[in-house]
Amino acid sequence: MRGRMEDSLQQVMSARELDPLSLANTSLAFRTYYNAHDYDKAIEICRSALDMDANFVPAHQRLIAIYEQKGELDKAIEERQRAMTLGGENSVIVGGGRSKELARQVESLRQAYAADGEHGYWLGRLEADRRDARLGNVDPIDLGTVYTRLGNKDEAFRWLEKALKDHLPYLIWSLPASPDFDELRSDSRYAELLRRLVPRPE
C-alpha cells in the first residue's frame, strides 16, 4: 500500500515459504505483483492457487482484474464466466436468483465487447454496476474503477469519495498503489484523497 514493492515481495515470499499450501497466502500474493505492474507473475500466482484448488473462486476473480488491466478482455470474460459458474454451485457465495442475474451480466458483457471492443466492455461493466446499485448492491470502488477506465475522472472521484466517506476498509488496498487508478494519479484530487485515507506523520 505504501508502494514499497521490494519489501512487499520479500514478505510475500516469506509467507509462502512458511505455509506453501495456504490458498490465502498464494492467491493474496497476487496483489503485490499486480501493484508492481508484473501482471504475468500475478497470473502465475493465481494459477498456483488454482493448481491446489481449481474451484477456488477468489483466484478466478483476481484473474478477471489482471486480464482487464492487461487489456485481454476476452480472457477476463472467460474468468468471469468461471467465477460465476463456481459461485452458482456454492449457495454460500451466490444464491440461485443472483446466479441467473450474473449469467445474464456475463452474456451482456460478452455481447458489448463483441460489438464495441474495449469501450463497449467497460460500458457493459458500468451498466452491470448500475443494475446492482438499483438492487442496493453498490460497490463505490468498482464504480470508481470503471469510470476511470472510461476516462470520466469526475465520476471516478465522486465514487471514490463515497467509498472514503462510507469507511470501506478495502479502499486502503486499492487506492494507494493499485494500477486501476494510474490515470488519476496526476490529478490533485487524487493526492488529497490519498492524504485523507493514509495520513502521514508530521
**Is the pLDDT confidence value at 122 over 90?**
yes
Amino acid at 198: V
Which carries the bigger pLDDT value, residue 19 or residue 192? 192
Q: Domain tally for the chain?
A: 2
Which of 70, 92, 108 marks a domain boundary? 70
CATH number, residue 32: 1.25.40.10
State which residues form the domain around 5.
1-70
Tens digits of residue pLDDT in 24-36: 777 778 888 999 9
**Is the pLDDT confidence value at 94 over 50?**
no
CB 35 within 8 A of CB 45: no
Residue 87 lies in a domain: no
Query: What confidence score (pLDDT) does residue 27 get?
Result: 73
How far apart, in whole angstroms, are the C-alpha atoms of residue 34 and residue 29? 9
φ/ψ bin of 196: left (φ > 0), alpha (ψ from -120 to 50), beta (otherwise):
alpha
**Highest-pLDDT range among 51-55, 90-94, 118-122:** 118-122
90 pLDDT band, cuts 50/70/90, is very low
Which of 70, 101, 117 marks a domain boundary? 70
Q: What is the mean pLDDT of residues 142-153?
A: 97
Percent of the chain having pLDDT more than 70?
93
Supply φ then ψ for residue 52, to 5 degrees: -80, -35
Q: Kindly report the pTM of this predicted structure.
A: 0.86
